[in-house]
Amino acid sequence: MKKMLVTITLAAASAAAFAQGKVSLQNDPSCLYTMPTAPWRCAPQDQNLAGQPIPISGPLPSGAVLEVGLYGGTASTLLTLQTAVLLNPVGGSGAPWDGMPPATHVHIDGTPNSNGDGSLGMTGYVAGDPAYFQVAVWDSAYANPFIAEACMSPYVGFNHVFSMTPGTSIPYLAINLAGGTTWIDAGNEHPLILGIIPEPSALALAGSATALLFIFRRRKS
């Protein structure tokens, strides 16, 4: 009886796992996250790092700690944050290369925290369907990249929107590999350079509008 209960529990857990998508936020040496190319775009203390992969051993000389987030949605104009991780925290991130985040596994669920796994949720997502994604890097002093952009932070950047089908089995599919031709054709095999923002999508415009409203309200109060 006990063995049967264990088997049923494992089967239920497996079914729950396969009812969601799995992706891994990561990159490779061909698409490193990079400091602004022009020294004047960097904080004065960071100008010697211009054009170089973002160091991951700790905060920048200016003290800035950068965050990388994966946005996703069922449409390219309906992207919401799926996961975020610090790129250069105090003590370092432990990633293998400068300009790389620590590989971060993400469950893509239609409902936030549907399996108690802390997933942020992707409204309307059905396991096995393709989804749209975009990577953002920003100064973690700001709540999100849109506020960082609205405040004219030098440290904010996005790659291009791409599509992929999250895994429905055991492996977590790396976005830079499973993105396939959409990742390549969009130009995401090149470094993500801070300070370079692709043409705004509806999400970016909405995010910027929200950020500006937030800033306006703070100043007014």
N- to C-terminal Cα separation, the chain: 64
> What is the model's pLDDT at position 34?
97
Residue ranges in the chain whose pLDDT is less than 50: 1-18, 201-206, 208-221
Residues 6 or more apart whose Cβ sits within 8 Å of residue 3: none
Q: Which two tokens stand for residue 157?
A: 């950047």
pLDDT for position 116: 72
The Cα 107–Cα 69 span in angstroms is 14
Q: For residue range 39-48, list pLDDT tens digits in order.
A: 999 999 999 9
pLDDT of residue 112: 87
What pLDDT does residue 39 have? 97
pLDDT of residue 19: 61
Instruction: Give the three-state DSSP class for 215.
Output: helix
Q: Tell whether the torsion through CA atoms of 99, 108, 210 and 200 is positive or negative.
A: positive
CA distance 87 to 94: 9
Question: Rounded to 5 degrees, what are φ and ψ at 63?
Answer: 95, -5
- Within 10 Å of residue 205's Cβ, how many Cβ atoms? 12
